[in-house]
Structure 1
Amino acid sequence: MNEMELRREIVAVAQTIDQAGFCPSKSGNVSARFGEGLLITPSGLPYAQTKPEDLIHLALDGTVLSGVRKPSSEWPFHVEIYKARPDAQAIVHTHSPRATALSCTRRGIPAFHYMIALCGGADVRCADYATFGTPELAANAVKGLEGRKAVLLANHGVIALGQTLAGAHTIVAEVENLAGQYLDILAAGLEPVILDGPEMERVGAKFAGYGKVG
């Protein structure tokens, strides 16, 4: 994929998550590795108006290599995740309604459904709170993502990473779905039956042979 194709795909994913209602008030951001750095969506520009040339090319130290707009205010956690996770080729961050609501309880998502395994492990953790756009938040996100492909950010939203943009998008959408189901169970005054570790390992192994999602 050349640079323009990658830019178009980033914009397409950003517009898709926006149309799904995952990015209220211009929140959220999307990036993908490019060369020795990354391409990331700009700050404050509505996704419906975003064009491929509006993306910013950053080095992994945060230096702007090209682009006339400001990068997303969350660029620190993008660069820190890419530095910590060689497997991550794309990152999608949203403020999707139900996952964000759950994050405000500072509660993760346990293995109440086998689809949790799509997120890379036996649960989706909720990372500790820190102010948006800070190194502290970046460090918390990296820690929460250890051994995982998705994490809730306390009182904030969701991060998903993938080997492709499509994979990261699939995971962030599934986190929203799972968070909604989990909230529905809790709202009914019930507690879900949690699948045990060996079962989640079996499911994870089946997913590994099922395709390249994520």
Structure 2
Amino acid sequence: MAKSKQAVLKQAVSKKAERKAREAIVAACRAMNAKDFNQGAAGNISARLGEAMLITPSGVDYDELTPDMIVAMDLAAEAPVRDAKTGFKASSEWRFHRDIFRARPDVAAVVHAHAPYATVMAMLRRPIPASHYMIAAFGGASIECTDYAPFGTPELSELAVAGLGPRQGVLLGSHGMIAVGPDLKRALWLAGELETLARLHFLASLAGGPVILPDEEVLSLVERFAGYGPGAQKR
């Protein structure tokens, strides 16, 4: 039976949206490296696409990454996926991307990076407290740091989801950081802000220790940040 004109149009729109999302992931990966908060093929990025996600492939340098290399993976999948056409396998960290999307309907993009200062804080196993008011952009008065678990494991995924909670960022113990958002533009912006917060807090700690803002002060700013920055909900 021939497809209706409406069905054909819907399929074309869907393919166009997927292509645009693939291109946006590639651009975001290169932007991470250009901004010096990631290196080579380290880190990974994903974007929600209906009941699936698009995620960077395993072990591909971002300078060589193309939209066709991005791997599509059903959010119901219980094992890593290899693209039948390209042969590329989903990032080794596919599990925590999938589990964050499952746990957080508000999240449409996940950025994971080994940003230098965020990773230093993760190596020290230190959360980032409210030493600067921009922490309110992450939805709370601190950015938590999880315990360590090996990369790609269910244990790491559980720690990531729990450490993230309702907030927009988390440090992974002795590993790196995760930032999430309602779209890729905001998730990438938050990843950069998380690295800046980590750098400022670390440097202030070397100079004697920063003053920590009261929780109530930070929490009073959270709602204001919903309308600030890339991908913000304009109010």
Alignment TM class, shorter chain as reference: over 0.9
C-alpha separation between the residues in 2 aligned to 1:5 and 1:206? 30
**Would you say the 8 A contact 2:114–2:177 is kept in 1?**
yes
Say if 1:87 and 1:176 are closer, same or farther in 2 by CA, change over 3 A: same
C-alpha separation between the residues in 2 aligned to 1:55 and 1:129? 28
Structure 2: gaps spanning 5 or more residues: 1-15
Could you list the per-position Cα deviations for residues 164-199 of structure 1 after superposition, in whole angstroms to 9, with x for gaps in the alignment?
A: 1010001110010010001101112x1211111211
User: 1:40: which partner in 2?
Assistant: 55
**Would you say the 8 A contact 2:33–2:40 is kept in 1?**
no
Structure 1: gaps spanning 5 or more residues: none
> Matched residue of 2:46: which SS?
strand
Say if 1:21 and 1:210 are closer, same or farther in 2 by CA, change over 3 A: closer
User: After the TM superposition, which residues 94-173 of structure 1 pair with which residues of structure 2 at under 5 Å, given as runs?
Assistant: 94-173=113-192
The one-letter amino acid paired with 1:95 is H
> TM-score normalized by structure 1?
0.95
User: 1:12: which partner in 2?
Assistant: 27
Could you list the per-position Cα deviations for residues 61-81 of structure 1 after superposition, in whole angstroms to 9, with x for gaps in the alignment?
A: 245384520111100100010
In our comparison, the structure showing a higher alpha carbon Rg is: 2
How many residues matched? 213
User: 1:205: which partner in 2?
Assistant: 223
The one-letter amino acid paired with 2:191 is V
C-alpha separation between the residues in 2 aligned to 1:167 and 1:209? 11
C-alpha separation between the residues in 1 aligned to 2:226 and 2:61? 36
> Matched residue of 2:27: which SS?
helix
- Aligned-pair identity (%): 45
Measured after TM superposition, the shift of residue 127 of structure 1 is 1.2
Equivalent of 1:191 in 198, 205, 209: 209
C-alpha separation between the residues in 2 aligned to 1:42 and 1:26? 9
> Matched residue of 1:127: which SS?
coil
Measured after TM superposition, the shift of residue 201 of structure 1 is 1.7
> TM-score normalized by structure 2?
0.86
Q: CA RMSD in A?
A: 1.6
C-alpha separation between the residues in 2 aligned to 1:176 and 1:49? 25
